[in-house]
Amino acid sequence: MREAHHKSPYLDLDKQESATCEAIRENIRLIARMEEKYLNNRKINERLADVIGSFSGSMSFVIFHVLFYTLWILINLRILTFIPAFDPFPFLLLSMIVSLEAIFLSTFVLMKQNRMSKRADSRAHLDLQINLLAEKEMTMVLQMLRLIGEQVGVRDKRLDRELAQLSRETPVEMLANEIEESLPKES
């Protein structure tokens, strides 16, 4: 005897997954385009600062400096005798070069961090806009569900009060002020 097969929305799971995957892929492509636009719109000095900042945070940078300083010290301690010493101990020239390099590298790293911070702020503003829009949309959905429930005579008195509160538009500015007042003050 054959069992009856009921049509289930879960039978089309592969179709749903592929649609979801395509939506996710489209979001990824959108993010990639936004990042590419951001990277391409950097000025030449910003690109240079980013390259230097990235290199200074790499293992190649560390290895280069270990080799460079080792060679410098070996030459100037006259351990490598085939190259004449040019900065005898206590290596004043090397100290000056290291100090200047530290000044410039810290400046490049700070420039890159400032740009990254501005980019993060821009993303945070976008997130806020999307969240505010989603909140308005959700409020409308709740209002519509309340109306549908009333039309078909479905009510739950336990949920009515909370649903009524959630169905009202959220006063975002007032909420932000209340949060700010509730947080501990910085000293």
Q: Residue range 74-97: average pLDDT?
A: 95
pLDDT at site 86: 94
pLDDT at site 43: 92
pLDDT band at 95 (very low <50, low <70, confident <90, very high): very high
pLDDT band at 23 (very low <50, low <70, confident <90, very high): confident
For the cut 90, the answer to whether the pLDDT of residue 21 exceeds it is no
Q: Residue range 131-141: average pLDDT?
A: 89
pLDDT at site 1: 47
For the cut 60, the answer to whether the pLDDT of residue 22 exceeds it is yes
List of residues 6+ apart from 80 with CB closer than 8 A: 71, 74
pLDDT band at 101 (very low <50, low <70, confident <90, very high): very high
Among the ranges 14-18, 119-123, 178-182, which has the highest mean pLDDT value? Answer: 119-123
Residue 5: CB atoms within 10 Å:
7
pLDDT at site 15: 63
For the cut 60, the answer to whether the pLDDT of residue 7 exceeds it is no
Q: Look up residue 16 and give its two tokens.
A: 């749903």
For the cut 60, the answer to whether the pLDDT of residue 4 exceeds it is no
